[in-house]
Structure 1
Amino acid sequence: MPLTVSQMMEAANAVVARVDTNGAKDLIGQGALLLDVRDAIELQQTGRAKGAHHIPRGMLEFRADDSLKSHDPELRKDRAIVLYCAAGSRAALAGKLLKDMGYEQVYNVGGLPDWINGGGEVT
């Protein structure tokens, strides 16, 4: 049976823990990767969280698979990953994808506004 976006979001939110900005900063301080999964145009328009690495949501599978030449070495299965997007939905879906690919420590901080409202810096 085909899935709806609502069902995909429910499944993603069930397996990807939410973390606030302070929790994200703590994880980053311990070596976690802060990952922005928005499109490039969004970064140009609004900036990004200070220190964030960027991989657009549409390319994540290809950057996360370490058997491919397109693998991004910042993505390691032994490293926690804190995701954000514009509002939190793409970050949740991206987090579930990473979990499905064997990444165990995956967190969703929500959207860039959540990061900013929690006191996170933007560049």
Structure 2
Amino acid sequence: MMPPLTPAEARELADAGQITLLDVRELAEVQASGLAKGAVHIPLAMIPLRANRQAPDHDPLLDPAKPVAVYCAAGARAGRAADLLASLGYAAHNIGGFADWCAAGGEVER
């Protein structure tokens, strides 16, 4: 388990290019509220395919050499995604929900 990372810490690291933000909500949720600025969007169900470097559908925006800060709507799916990512060799942090990101001053793209 990775040490806790607050949404504010994740925002600072993301602004410095030192961490990848990952939104694991469904597309309709992202369309309704926006996406953290610079975040990669991969729904939770697609993580095993898109985060696995050996899979043909691996997303090159996910670099196992770079830590990942994961969020969803409230934090539960982010926790599951962080566990999946850890099993694939990523340093992954559950930073909670989208509202936590916004409350920490994180920018949003629509």
TM-score, structure 2 as length reference:
0.91
The correspondence of residues 15-94 of structure 1 with structure 2, limited to 5 A, is 15-28=1-14, 29-94=16-81
- Percent sequence identity is 42
Amino acid at match of 2:77: R
Structure 1 unpaired stretches of 5+: 1-14
- In structure 2, the residue corresponding to 1:97 is in which secondary structure? helix
TM-score, structure 1 as length reference:
0.82
**Retained in 1: the 8 A contact 2:35–2:108?**
yes
Cα distance between partner residues in 1 of 2:62 and 2:39: 13
Show structure 1 runs of 4+ deviating over 6 A: none
Cα offsets for 1:63-93 (capped at 9, x unmatched):
0111111001111211110100000110011
Is the radius of gyration larger for structure 1 or structure 2? 1
Q: 2:86 aligns with which of 99, 103, 107?
A: 99
Cα distance between partner residues in 1 of 2:7 and 2:31: 22
Cα distance between partner residues in 2 of 1:55 and 1:67: 17
Structure 1 vs Structure 2 CA RMSD:
1.2
Structure 2 unpaired stretches of 5+: none
User: Higher helix proportion, which one?
Assistant: 1
